[in-house]
Structure 1
Amino acid sequence: MTLKQNLIWIKQQFYRKEDYKMAKKFNENGFRVYDEFKDVNGTQVRIEKSTLATEECVSIFGDTPLSDHHFPPHLNVETAKRVIKALQEFVEENS
């Protein structure tokens, strides 16, 4: 087997088909980032796996470069659909 064939075989053994459809992102601490986008006010919205150790949870952050605090995102229909899709991925991965 060639190196390429070995890598393909390994991916097939350890990854689900859904993983090929959408590249997965992880934050600097290794937690899954389900989506990142800007809301209607330009706040950076991030949906990621929670650091809570007692159960599987997801966190939704709204960050702005003007402050170290998190702000609630303001979602229109388009960005709300992105949140729904990201939350659905979280549910499917952890059910």
Structure 2
Amino acid sequence: MTQPRALRAHMIHSWDGTEWQVFVALPDEARWPHVPFPITDGIPTLNARAAALHSLGFTPLGAEQTWEWMETVFEGDPDGVVSLVATTTVAPETDPPA
């Protein structure tokens, strides 16, 4: 049995800061489908992120569903505004959502 290809899923703030976005970085794709979560609802829970990934046709690898958090500075931002990014490893689901 072949091992599914591992990809990285990300959760970031939108460019305008109004929502969290969960997406999977797909090689050779110019635009990645995403699932939005309003900032006003707080940080999406692990279950909400797993449901978002499922709706995109992916499943987290590993039972813990751990996400790694990091800070990054927006490229070209003279004020050095920091953005939070969370990532986890995912694989395509064997039976994509209908």
Using structure 1 for the length normalisation, give the TM-score: 0.28
Greater strand share, 1 or 2? Answer: 2
Compare relative contact order (CA 8 Å, sep 6+) and give the higher one, 1 or 2. 2
Larger radius of gyration: 1
Greater helix share, 1 or 2? Answer: 1
